[in-house]
Structure 1
Amino acid sequence: MRYVIIGGDAAGMSAAMQIKREGTQDDHIVTIEKGDYYSYGQCGLPYVISGDVSSTDDVIAKPVEEFRQKHGIDARTRHEVTAVDPNAKTVSGIHLDTNEPFEIEYDKLLIATGVSPVLPNWDGIDLDGIHSMKTIPDTDQIMTDLQAHQPETVTIVGGGFIGLEIAENMREIGKHVRLIQAGSQLMNPLDYDMAELLHDEAKKHGIELIFNEFVQRFEGNDRVEKVITDQGEYSTDQAIVNIGVKPNTTFLNTDVFNLNDQGAIIIDDYMQTNVAHVYAAGDCAVDFNRVKQQNDFVPLGTTANKQGMIAGLNMTDQPKAFQGIVGTSILKFFDLDVARTGLSEKEAESLGFDYAVSQIKTNAVAGYYDKQPLHLKLVYEKDSRRLLGGQAVGTTGADKRIDVLATALYHNMTTVELLDLDLAYAPPYNGVWDPVQQAAKKTL
């Protein structure tokens, strides 16, 4: 069997290793990667800035040579795929080092091409000193720029996960950080009342926040000197743009492959596309959201690894369905842990749920043992009390609570049933009534 996998990171290599485990000795696996690196932890890259992660080399889980020599995978780098022909069952493209075309035949194909940063066509976007962060080369360029030019002021455009992590790590090395956000809050997946806690934390650590302004262009002589918005201009020595991502699917013929409005590949529970013998997994594909009961686009490494493993099983004729997501994520932002799962209040409203909210400020551990404030919010259906989502922000304990809520969402539990959970208690970790259950009590 000839297996071809486009994409050498989380989903692609999870699938490749699953095929190696479950396939036969006669199988031939070709993996095609546009870049130079395989299988690395992109989420660790912002921490290279501060030195919490000492080098981009440290985030590489397995070097490409290990896949080739130890596992016998035909792992190719610097190969950019430009077309898939389902009729001929071929993948074609360009070898970026030689500019020579290539064509590979497949029996089964997996598309796991991930996402790329959205970079608007702003005037001056190509000036020296303007970056985005998604890959190892992106991060290496930022680190080289920091060392060569010693910027004092760094302007970050975009207040999502990556933007906030970069902001924190830039402050850790003493930079003046300005963060420009087109909307009225940081971390759009949070409700505003929870996001305000992040705003306070940012200001506490000296980050300059600019809300409700839209970047128009950058100015400078060869190197960026100013960021111009619709309301003002700001001097800067470096700029990092991370305003979102888009699926790497432009090489696919949309008359053949079904994509959603964001360009993500539509797949079924078995990672199968609408094209026979072609599968998709990871950030370039949709995720079924169990709470929304519809396809979603939530590109996260956890989901990519799961979908890749499941794709590998299905490609080797061992049917396994992906059970979907509930939309769980967590962020460290200075002294705060910021976590969410399921639907926010604003999402519940937009989807037409008849919902209610239970919100508390409590202590993450026994109050007599330590003072660790935790803000917790539950969103639930009014009549059934079915849990719809939760958000937690605090100095500790947000991770524990959000994982409980994510598990409850997976099993379609009600807030009443949360009270029956047997959760761990000892004064250094909890009070006798867990904050999740304290909030659940208020729904009765």
Structure 2
Amino acid sequence: MKYVIIGGDAAGMSAAMQIVRNDSEAEVTTLEKGEIYSYAQCGLPYVVGQLIDSTDSLIARSIETFREKYGIDARTNHEVTEIDPKKKVVIGDGFEISYDKLLIATGATPVMPKWDGADLDGIHTIKTIPETEALIKDAEGRQKVTIIGGGYIGLEMAENLVEIGKDVTIIEQSSQLATIFDEDLAEMIEEEATKHGITVKLNESVKGFAGTERVQRVLTDKGEIESDLVIVAVGVRPNTSFLKETGIHFHKNGAIKVNAFLETNIEDIYAAGDCATQYHRIKEKDDYIPLGTHANKQGRLAGLSMIGKGRAFQGIVGTSIIKFFDLTLARTGLSASEIETQRFPYEAVTASLPDIAGYYPDPERMTLRLFYHTETNQLLGGQIIGKKGVDKRIDVLATALYHRMTIAELEDLDLAYAPPFNMAWDPLQQTARRR
């Protein structure tokens, strides 16, 4: 059986490893348009900030390991430009490869709007190791950095650039940073940015760039911002444009629609990772939240499905977390705006509580917000911002959401307690009791 996988990162190589581990007769070919396999994209900002010394540290397995240890025909500089589902072949510049089963794991690409001057030197996106290395080299001797986009990548890059002594400005076209949080909670994020010397410009839209050969100014609807270096972090789009003539069904944003077994609508073609949809357990419909955790899970299950040992992907609840200077920002489930879009009747309850017993040394307060359905009492989501203990609580809440628990059932959980770690009533449970 010939298995072909397009994409050599999280989803693609998770699938490849499941195939070779479970089918000793399998012929597995992986096609990567770049030269690097299987690396941790989420670690790239911390290489920029010199917390991680090299991009080499982010590579999970080398190409040689896949080839020599696991017998995978791992190819580099092989960009697929066309798929013929009838002939069951993938086609690129100078190659044509047949398959019995095909996985599309082509990931996503940073969005670069068609701004005037976007081709000037000094304007970067950050998604791959080569892009990151180019940014690090270009940042040498540069001081004034403008980041376009106040989402997770923008915030992580802002923190890490401040840590290496850069003057950072963030431009965000909406009225807040981190739009996946409620606006009043996002004020805490803005305060943290300002505290660390970041200039934050909200409700401001980029119109273009000015300079000779290199960017010198960012042009917005409110003026000009002097810049030596620009990072564009306004989102990503699925790498699926080469599939338009295949008959594959797409989500409205271009992601490939898949079922629970990562199958597309075309027989023997699967998709996983940032190029595919994920089923949202709270919305009860397909969604698109491209994260490494989802890519690894979907890739693993896609590989098993391809060899006939399928186990259904159970979906996501929208959990994410970020370190931003002294704060931890975490959320799971739905935000207020998402709940309103879904037209669920809901209430929110908010509390500010210490992360550990108040009498134990050095407690730190966290702000917690829970959303629940007013007719069923089912938990719908939550947001937590604080300095300590946020990660523990958001994972408890994510587990509760996964199992569709009610806010009352959250109170019943048997959670660990000792004064250095918690209060007798966990902050999540105390918040639930305030409804």
Q: Same fold (TM over 0.5)?
A: yes
- Are 2:325 and 1:326 aligned? no
CA deviations 1:311-370 (Å, max 9, x no partner) are 011100012100000000000000000000000111111110100001001111111112
Quick one: distance in 2 between partners of 1:317 and 1:24? 14
The 8 Å contact of residues 218 and 226 in structure 2, kept in 1 or not, is answered as yes
Q: 1:414 aligns with which of 406, 419, 424?
A: 406
CA shift, 1:373, in A, is: 1.1
- Are 2:384 and 1:385 aligned? no
- Are 2:15 and 1:15 aligned? yes
Please tell me the residue identity of whatever aligns with 1:47: Y
Quick one: distance in 1 between partners of 2:47 and 2:258? 35
Please tell me the residue identity of whatever aligns with 1:402: I
1:120 is aligned to 113
Aligned length: 434
Quick one: distance in 1 between partners of 2:399 and 2:6? 32
Please tell me the residue identity of whatever aligns with 1:374: M
2:223 is aligned to 232
2:274 is aligned to 283
Quick one: distance in 2 between partners of 1:102 and 1:294? 38
1:146 is aligned to 139
1:80 is aligned to 79
- Are 2:50 and 1:55 aligned? no
Please tell me the residue identity of whatever aligns with 1:108: K
- Are 2:250 and 1:251 aligned? no
CA shift, 1:417, in A, is: 0.4
Quick one: distance in 2 between partners of 1:76 and 1:190? 41
Quick one: distance in 1 between partners of 2:129 and 2:276? 22
Quick one: distance in 2 between partners of 1:172 and 1:24? 48
Quick one: distance in 1 between partners of 2:420 and 2:245? 55
Instruction: State the TM-score, normalized to the length of structure 2.
Output: 0.99
- Residue aligned with 2:170, SS: strand
Identity percentage of aligned residues: 56
- Are 2:422 and 1:423 aligned? no
CA shift, 1:193, in A, is: 1.4
- Residue aligned with 1:360, SS: strand
- Are 2:104 and 1:105 aligned? no
1:403 is aligned to 395
Quick one: distance in 2 between partners of 1:416 and 1:45? 40
- Are 2:37 and 1:35 aligned? no
Q: Which residues of 2 match residues 156-235 of structure 1 at below 5 A?
A: 156-235=147-226
- Residue aligned with 1:246, SS: strand
Please tell me the residue identity of whatever aligns with 2:264: T
CA deviations 1:15-54 (Å, max 9, x no partner) are 00000111132x1100000111000000000001121010
CA deviations 1:218-247 (Å, max 9, x no partner) are 000111100000111111111000100000
Q: Which portions of structure 1, spanning 4 or more consecutive aligned residues, are displaced by more than 4 angstroms?
A: none
2:64 is aligned to 65
2:431 is aligned to 439
CA deviations 1:37-79 (Å, max 9, x no partner) are 0000000000011210101111000111110111100000011
C-alpha RMSD over aligned residues? 0.8
Quick one: distance in 2 between partners of 1:36 and 1:244? 24
CA shift, 1:202, in A, is: 0.4
CA shift, 1:383, in A, is: 2.3
- Residue aligned with 1:87, SS: coil
Quick one: distance in 1 between partners of 2:48 and 2:31? 29
Q: Which residues of 2 match residues 296-311 of structure 1 at below 5 A?
A: 296-311=287-302
CA shift, 1:255, in A, is: 5.7
Please tell me the residue identity of whatever aligns with 2:386: G
Quick one: distance in 2 between partners of 1:64 and 1:162? 27
Quick one: distance in 1 between partners of 2:389 and 2:20? 39
Quick one: distance in 2 between partners of 1:23 and 1:442? 54
- Residue aligned with 1:128, SS: coil
CA shift, 1:260, in A, is: 1.0
- Residue aligned with 1:79, SS: coil
Q: Which moved further from structure 2: 402-411 or 248-257?
A: 248-257
Instruction: State the TM-score, normalized to the length of structure 1.
Output: 0.97
CA shift, 1:7, in A, is: 0.3
CA shift, 1:442, in A, is: 1.1
CA shift, 1:254, in A, is: 4.7
- Residue aligned with 2:241, SS: coil
Q: Which moved further from structure 2: 350-359 or 251-260?
A: 251-260
CA shift, 1:188, in A, is: 1.2
1:97 is aligned to none
- Residue aligned with 1:427, SS: coil
- Residue aligned with 2:231, SS: strand
CA shift, 1:434, in A, is: 0.4
Q: 1:134 aligns with which of 124, 127, 130?
A: 127
Quick one: distance in 2 between partners of 1:38 and 1:201? 36
The 8 Å contact of residues 192 and 325 in structure 2, kept in 1 or not, is answered as yes
1:98 is aligned to none
Point out where structure 1 has 5 or more consecutive residues left out of the alignment. Answer: 95-100
Q: Which residues of 2 match residues 320-399 of structure 1 at below 5 A?
A: 320-369=311-360, 370-399=362-391
